[in-house]
Amino acid sequence: MSRQLEGKTAIVTGSSTGIGAAIAKRFAAEGAKVVTNSRSRERAKTVADEIENEGGTAIAVESDVTDHDEMAAMIEATVDEFGSLDIMVNNAGLTRIGPAESISPEDWRHVIDVDLTGVFFGSQLAGRQMIEQESGGAILNISSIMGGIGLHKRAPYCAAKAGVNNLTQTLAVEWAPHEIHVNALAPGFIKTDITDQTQSAADYTDEDIRNRTPLGRFGTLDEMTECATFLVNTDHYVTGEVLHADGGWTAYAWGSSGE
């Protein structure tokens, strides 16, 4: 491996499972010092221990992305431990499923709080630290193809991810003078718990998804980490971009190639 992130320090929120855990492990393998995160320190520590066992450097920090003070404390702990914050990945997310007319106020607020407000808190606090350091940095927000298209029974999630996409562009413009690159990664159908929930909500089978995807298959965690590594490696001219890693899903206008 090329060690593209050697000497960098990265926080990955929601990194106890799925795409977040895969990104944390990939960044460590690329040479970054990684802070894993979950609302459960035990779950975050499991991933940090796996990184350490593979020869990487990681610590686990418990925090709730919807709590501004807890997020500030995580960034402070990161800087205390490693001396800087160079990469912030806002990955933590969840969904609630149901017809729009039946979504409760509590479920609506919970999804927006985690999937959008949590991204803003993480970005804001990381941006402050990077501006203070005067050495630039990278912020990567994990969005979804649902941020640009509609899917029934997913109103809060789709709305939150659309907000993430616009927030990404706004922060990229605002913080460009500080050499802070802000981008988003919008995965398509990757085999994770949240994808399984999406399939259930939309009554999609695996075959339906393969037929609907021009590349004819699900994406992999390795493919997502490849995209994430590129986007946080700031040796490029890319900022304010929402990269759709979806096998052509959003480009496919007709619908399904199934017989």
Residues with active-site annotation: 157
Average pLDDT, the chain: 94
Domain layout of the chain by residue ranges = 9-243
Close Cβ partners of 170 (under 8 Å, ≥ 6 residues apart): none
Close Cβ partners of 252 (under 8 Å, ≥ 6 residues apart): 212, 213, 214
**pLDDT tops 90 at residue 257:** no
- At residue 2 the predicted structure's pLDDT band, cuts being 50, 70 and 90, is confident
**pLDDT tops 80 at residue 152:** yes
Fold of 9-243: Rossmann fold (3.40.50)
> What is the per-residue pLDDT across 156-204, written as a single tens digit (0 to 9) for each?
999 999 999 999 999 999 999 999 999 999 999 998 776 766 666 567 7
Average pLDDT over residues 93-120: 97
pTM for the full model? Answer: 0.94
Average pLDDT over residues 9-30: 98
pLDDT recorded at residue 86: 98
Which residue has 């994990």 as its token pair? 142
CA dihedral 106, 109, 110, 112 (to 10 degrees): 160
More confident residue, 150 or 30: 30
- At residue 101 the predicted structure's pLDDT band, cuts being 50, 70 and 90, is very high
What percent of the chain stands above pLDDT 70?
Answer: 93
Query: 158: which DSSP letter?
Result: H
